[in-house]
Chains A and B, each alone.
Chain A
Amino acid sequence: MQVKRSTTVHDVVVIGSGAGGGTVVKVLTDLGVNVLLLEAGGMINPARDFREHVWPHQVLHRGAGEHGESYFGRGPAFGYFGAGFGGWELDGEPYTVARGSEFQWFRSRVIGGRTLHYGRISLRFSDYDFKPHSFDGLGTDWPISYQDVAPYYDKAEAFIGITGTREGLRTAPDGIFQPPAAPRVHEVLVRRACDRLRIPCIPSRLAVLTKALNGRPACHYCGQCGRGCIPASNYSSAQVQIFPAMKSGRLQIVTNAMARELITADNGRVTAVSYVDKTTRAEKQVRCRSVVVAASACETARLLLNSKGPRHPNGLANSSGVVGRYLTDNSGYHLAARIPALEGMPRHDNDGIGGMHMYIPWWLLDDKKKDFPRGYHVEIGGGYGMPGIGSFHGTCARHEGYGARLKKAIYDEYGCTVHLHGRGEMIPNDKSYMEIDSRVVDRWGIPAARFNFAWNDYEIRQTQHMHRTFTDIFETMGGRVLGAGAKGWTGISVGGTIIHELGTVRMGNDPRSSALNKYCQAHDVKNLFVADAAPFLTNPDKNPTLTICALAWRTAEYLAEQLRKGDI
């Protein structure tokens, strides 16, 4: 096969354009560095590709899919109107799951990656999240502390724009905040119930502008963040970092470029990135002085494990053997309840920000009696959503029947269901890791990932605690739990389904037990950096995206300085 090799040597090649890659692109181009960005998906034009404000009746199939896919569980993840640009299964890009494990892997193939549709929850990790072993003897301490990351949280928050309020909670460190949106009615009830139960319930920290910033207008409160925001009032790496960087003249983008392998020279440095042009299936190589891999934790580990050579038979940057290990996701648990107090309330527009306006941060850090070590936060759902396919299937199933009584039940129950979603910390374990399944390749011949996954008893007990807490909150609101949850705990989420998978290329001070140093630079390969959630040593009760942005910012500044000094 003829491989097309570029003659240009790029200062930096970035692989992946999500939160990590987007931040690296923004910081490096701001610092005058030229960047080539490889993205496995396509380019987007928000005005054309986002389905913001489209009513279901403006589409013949109303959002069920042209073949009614959503009625058979085959519709796109996050629905027809969502900006997922990917899914749990991608045609021609298989992954496998080891016998006895359950795991699902969500991949978005698009410029901006998963930041186009994510929940925009933006939480700083706490001081103890960086030093878990020192805190309670479990897990491994990061080579950096909260103080090292704090200045980069500041930079990321000030640039991205995060709502919030200063609360002084150790479990939810304060940041640089824009004003939060006022609570919805059901959120007021949850907060009041929490007050009685001595549980904190505070304004959400979301990557959505409530004041204009850097030419981006404030939110117009249509509630559709997950469809993609055409005016970019919420954060996506595509609209907030990559598109502006394209105007700098320092950014070159190759879309539909699936990275196959990192090519190294005798000195152990990466000299080129080999990728497949998905539109032609031709293999191409771009030369580089340095490379930043930000393909998402498991895709990054897959690329390193697939980059084998005589000097690194177990994959690149993997002399420690840790690449692929210590895979975690957040634990998840959900309960819903009917809240009679909301029935008969005057109808109003409560679209707001696309997500909760209030949330419950962890509150039992110092409780010595609990039977699990690490915490969780609680997300709140509810309100009058835009009616869509499936909106009233629950009411139909509960009431059955037909006619005026069914119509009245639907009217009365609309907006009266409240959801609580727990997201908890998983402690890394030896049974949870990803590896290469050498029997399976994708449609370009790249060996696929295989997942092994097992929750610890810690997380099981933690989700049982979520069940009790959610039930208490609902009962305090006068609500009645719906579905199987009314009878008891319904089980922990399937690994991967919270889409906070991370930890597969961990950082550390000791090259024997970590792949990356404290700047997310490979111990074995000086000009190789990782800038997604793969370097994380903990997966706490705080969504990873803000920390991905902060760490990527720090790594990019370090890389720019190394390039300037000629060390790379």
Chain B
Amino acid sequence: MTRRDVLAGMSAPLLGSAFGAQAAQHAHNVVAGEKKASGVYKPKLFTPGEYAALRRLAELIIPADETSKSAADAGAPEFIDLLASNNPELAAIYTGGLGWLDREMVKRHGQPFVKATPEQQTAMLDLIAYSRNITAELAPGIVFFDWARKMVVDGYYTSPIGVRAIGYMGNRGMAVFQVPEAAITYAVKKSGLE
């Protein structure tokens, strides 16, 4: 194999070459995350109510903006459902956490999380998204939200949408390695190490 073959085989999306075939083999169970998120995904673990709450949480944790879509669009809820359905410890964290959240929302606003107004939802997150708010009453919510946040973030930034959003440009071949001079100049100047 020459480097030319290697580079030829690496043009995104890594298909149709020796490398493409290899990558594809590992990807035999590719989730077309973006498509499935449009609503046809059937949760393996969560009830429809739990799943709707998880999707709403994902959307609030990493929302859409003018340049990129949300974590719900990127398939983070599917990712969490898949892992939790394979791991009782994780399943308990999520069903327990979502259960706590709904009960707390009903107590405060008479509605479960998904049925509450966006203002009521974010008011709750403003409490449980920060460890400084920890009290005996809020602790279960804070511990759960920490799990939800890190797994939604993982699900998002490992998706094609998330990779674009963060601006990772690698996993391709280069004939010569050279970072842009503009990037070096920028950082050297800003560091004061000229």
Contact = CB atoms under 8 A, between A and B. Distances in A.
Interface of A: 47-48, 50-64, 66-68, 71-72, 181-186, 188-189, 192-193, 196, 212, 217-224, 230-231, 233, 339-342, 344-353, 357, 384-393, 396, 400-404, 406-407, 410-411, 414, 476-478
A145 B124 CA distance: 69
Contact of B29 (A59, A193, A344): A59
Interface string B133-174: 000000000000110011101110111101101111111111
Please report whether the interface of chain A is mostly helix, strand, loop or mixed according to DSSP: loop
Contacts of B86: 66-68
A151 B61 CA distance: 59
Contacts of A346: 180, 182-183, 186
A346 B167 CA distance: 10
29 contacts: A48-B25, A53-B171, A55-B171, A61-B82, A185-B184, A189-B187, A189-B188, A189-B191, A217-B1, A220-B175, A221-B173, A231-B5, A233-B3, A344-B186, A345-B183, A347-B167, A349-B169, A384-B167, A387-B162, A387-B163, A387-B166, A396-B153, A400-B130, A402-B60, A402-B129, A403-B63, A403-B125, A404-B63, A414-B166
Contacts of A72: 89
Contacts of B84: 68
Contacts of A385: 168
Given A188-B184, A189-B191, A342-B187, A410 B153 contact: yes
Contacts of A344: 186, 190
A403 B26 contact: no
B193 A477 contact: yes
A185 B179 contact: yes
B174 A407 contact: no
Contacts of A218: 3
A195 to B, nearest CB: 8
A47 B2 contact: no
Contacts of B130: 400-401
Given A344-B186, A411-B166, A396 B150 contact: yes
B22 to A, nearest CB: 5
Contacts of A407: 62-63, 65, 165
Most chain-B CB neighbours within 10 Å: which of A58, A183, A406?
A58
B18 interface: yes
A274 B119 CA distance: 72
Contacts of A60: 29-31, 79, 82
Nearest to A340: B190
B48 interface: no
Given A61-B82, A220-B174, 4 more contacts: A56-B158, A349-B170, A392-B157, A411-B165
A296 to B, nearest CB: 29
A537 to B, nearest CB: 38
B2 A58 contact: no
Contacts, number: 240
A97 B79 CA distance: 38
Contacts of B157: 387, 391-392, 410
Contacts of B177: 181-182, 219, 221, 352-353, 357
B61 A62 contact: no
Nearest to B173: A220
A217 B171 contact: no
B19 A53 contact: yes
A218 B176 CA distance: 10
B37 interface: no
A348 B184 CA distance: 11
B183 A387 contact: no
3 interchain residue pairs of minimum CB distance: A58-B27, A341-B191, A68-B83
A391 B168 CA distance: 12
B174 to A, nearest CB: 4
B87 A68 contact: yes
A390 B167 contact: no
B54 to A, nearest CB: 14
A141 B19 CA distance: 49
Contacts of B106: none
Nearest to B80: A68
A384 B27 contact: no
Interface in B22-54: 22-27, 29-31, 33
Interface string B90-119: 100000000000000000000000000000
Contacts of B131: 400
Nearest to A341: B191
B169 A51 contact: no
Most chain-A CB neighbours within 10 Å: which of B24, B145, B170?
B170
Most chain-A CB neighbours within 10 Å: which of B83, B87, B122, B182?
B83
A204 to B, nearest CB: 12
B89 to A, nearest CB: 7
Most chain-A CB neighbours within 10 Å: which of B2, B154, B160, B184?
B154
